[in-house]
Amino acid sequence: MGLRDNIRRVVPYTPGEQPKIKVIKLNTNECPYPPSPRVIRALKEADYERLRLYPDPVCDGFVSALSEYYGVGKDQIFVGVGSDDVLSMCFMTFFNGDKPVLFPDITYSFYDVWAEVYRIPYRQLPLREDFSVDPEDYMGENGGIVLANPNAPTGIAAGKEELERIIAGNPESVVIVDEAYIDFGGETCLPLINKYENLIVVRTMSKSRAMAGMRLGYAFGCPELIKYLNDVKFSVNSYTLNMPSLIAGAEAIRDGEYFGEITGRVRATRERCKAELKKRGFEFADSMANFIFARHPEYHAARIFEELKKRGIYVRYFNKPRIDEYLRISIGTDEEMGAFLSALDEILPEVE
Ligand code: PMP
């Protein structure tokens, strides 16, 4: 036996770059606008002497705000340190059998990493040629299902009926619908948590609530599943969310007006950007998220990516089968998208 035989060794998830220099950052689907002014005010007014105390382990203020805003019971809500933490807890809690967990071949690239780290068997099912999900693929025996809707990095939203077929067709598996981008388009499965006891809907405050830096995520499901999640969470770390996050989370959720305004602006910029990309010959599915996943029939994505980077514009390129001709472009402000499009006009004639 060697030292390394007792060590859990994994290939970690690779997050998008967070450059130290000032760039136009269209590479990690953050919100280009600041958080709600109410969040900033509440953080300024917080009593930081209370930092000597442990934070509320049940996160009651934040959970209550979510419960009121979304009209679901407090016992139907789980919260975590970003939706990565929530999803990781879901993998640990619900995917505990011998049968493979199913998810698409092209989706959020953290799913296979969690499956590996927790030693969960899994199968990646190829999306159709147009990157849509075929519900029939998910009707066989399995140990659980995870689907991002809208999907990442494609931005394609599945219909609620298709997702409901998958949820209804798998009563013995937990089906996780990762709605990280649902506030930018597509139809939520949230109302289905009252109908199906095997559904978990996961959300994040990193994109549509402009708080990636705060690390806040949450999940909705029936009280029984939420209890199992909390049991696992309290068996790993009771105090996951810190005091400032709890304050910021509750306040952001209460400011529905600001949320509507910034998500509306992102959608409008996205639609304008689609039209501009089309004019330049790019091809892409009709993204419902805060990014566009596009390819150009004549110019190679890796070259465009490099040239943009030289000009201080960061987008995301995945050197992976099926998607290595695509760029994922997060939606920034109109001004940022203008600079991106001007850079493309400079680059495209050069990079055949
Ligand atoms: N799900 C999907 C589909 C994502 O793209 C991301 C962002 N990387 C996350 C979950 C995690 O986001 P966060 O941990 O910031 O909530």
Q: Which domains does the chain have, with CATH numbers?
A: 14-33+257-347 (3.90.1150.10), 37-254 (3.40.640.10)
Binding site membership of 30 for ligand 1 (Cβ less than 6 Å): no
What is the predicted pLDDT for the residue at 21?
A: 84
What is the predicted pLDDT for the residue at 296?
A: 97
What is the 82 CA–ligand 1 centroid distance (Å)? 7
Binding site membership of 212 for ligand 1 (Cβ less than 6 Å): yes
Question: Which residues, 6 or more positions from 116, have their beta carbon under 8 angstroms from its beta carbon?
Answer: 10, 11
What is the 83 CA–ligand 1 centroid distance (Å)? 6
Task: Specify the pTM.
Answer: 0.97
Alpha-carbon distances of 124 from 161, 278, 317, 322, rounded to whole Å: 22, 31, 21, 13
Average pLDDT rounded to a whole number, residues 100-113: 98
Binding site membership of 206 for ligand 1 (Cβ less than 6 Å): yes
Q: How many residues does the chain have?
A: 352
What is the 197 CA–ligand 1 centroid distance (Å)? 24
Q: For 180-204, write each residue's pLDDT tens digit.
A: 999 999 999 999 999 999 999 999 9
Distance CA 8, CA 22 (A): 37
Average pLDDT rounded to a whole number, residues 310-339: 97
Burial class (CB in 10 A: 0-12, 13-18, 19+), 164: middle
Q: How far is CA 218 from the centre of its chain?
A: 11
What is the 254 CA–ligand 1 centroid distance (Å)? 22
* Tokens coding 232: 């696992």
- Atom 8 (ligand 1) nearest CA: 28
Q: Give 20's pLDDT tier (boundaries 50, 70, 90).
A: confident
- Atom 12 (ligand 1) nearest CA: 83
Sheet holding 283-284, edge to edge: 283-284, 291-295, 326-330, 316-317
DSSP helix/strand/coil, 160: helix
Ligand 1 mutation target, pool 108, 109, 288, most atoms within 8 A of CB? 108
Q: What percent of the chain has pLDDT over 70?
A: 99
DSSP helix/strand/coil, 10: coil
Alpha-carbon distances of 331 from 97, 175, 215, 271, rounded to whole Å: 39, 29, 20, 10
